[in-house]
Amino acid sequence: MQDKTTALKLNDVIGLRRKKQFVQLGFVSLLIGLVLWSIQATIIDDTDWERIGTLSEIGESVSHFVGIDFELIPSLLGPTIETFMIACIGTLIGLLMCIPVIWFGALNVTPFKPVTYPLARVAMTLSRSIHEIVWALIFVSAVGLGAFAGILAIAARSLGFIAKMSAEAIENIDPKPVEAIRAMGGNNLQVMIYAILPQVLPVILGIVIFEWEINIRRSSVLGLVGAGGLGLVFFRQMNTFNYPGVTTVILAILALILIGEVVSHYARKAMI
């Protein structure tokens, strides 16, 4: 009797597992088919395979990039510093422009909810949605070519992320100190300085350092649209077909980013 029920159950279980596996298999193959189709449509049909040529030709064009242009290195110093400074000042200005947005955008401190809160949210979304290249294009047309446009682009791009994360940090504070300051008769400004800021300042600093690190990476390409820094040198090397020079510039960018990562690692450690 016991054996019979087990056998019955066994067939059920096995059948169910097989069925599940077939459904999974069908689903996976459907997905793969879909992907293959779009690869066919977008890549295989679209690409001029004659232009790409054989694998060895590709290998040959890749091999152009092998090597370092040592003569370029001294002239890289200025643009590297410039890129670094654009990232630093851009982050700083972004932070300054952030302050009203954070204030308006945190639900528990926003001064007039129906108007200021959506306003801040729109600003955050806009800033984060637009790619740094597009921001740079906008600012280049407003203030002309040069580092200044780059700084503004970086500031505009980082505003959204810093503001969003900081506003969330303010929304998640511990309300007890606020209560305490209110209980002893503090006004809004005092509540802000004594109850809210001490709680969120370390968080905001962490966010800013994180964003600064990303901004170094961003500022390295702004030169492509005329906003100064290493990107400009990169483009010039590209246009003069100096491929080892291109590699050198990329290495310089990597070095700069590595420095940024190390600095941000220690800065965050020092804060905690």
Return residues touching another protein (CB under 8 A).
Answer: 6, 9-10, 13-14, 17, 21, 24-25, 35, 38-39, 41-43, 46-48, 51-52, 58, 61-62, 65, 81-82, 85-86, 88-89, 92-93, 125-126, 128-131, 133-134, 137-139, 141-143, 146-148, 151-152, 217-218, 220-221, 224-225, 228, 234, 238, 246, 250, 253-254, 257-258
The whole-angstrom separation of Cα 64 and Cα 156 is 37
Kindly state the smallest distance separating residue 114's Cβ from another protein, in Å: 21
Kindly state the smallest distance separating residue 159's Cβ from another protein, in Å: 14
Map residue 53 onto helix, strand or coil.
coil
* C-beta closer to another protein: residue 6 or 176: 6
Q: Which residues contact 203 (CB under 8 A, 6 or more apart)?
A: 165, 166, 169
* C-beta closer to another protein: residue 81 or 115: 81
* C-beta closer to another protein: residue 138 or 203: 138
The Cα diameter of the chain in Å comes to: 89
User: How far, CA to CA in Å, does 243 sit from each of 5, 27, 253?
Assistant: 74, 46, 15
- Closest by alpha carbon to 164, among 122, 132, 108? 122
Instruction: Please give the distance of CA 126 from its chain centroid, rounded to a whole number.
Output: 14
CB 159 within 8 Å of CB 218: no
* C-beta closer to another protein: residue 11 or 187: 11
* C-beta closer to another protein: residue 100 or 182: 100
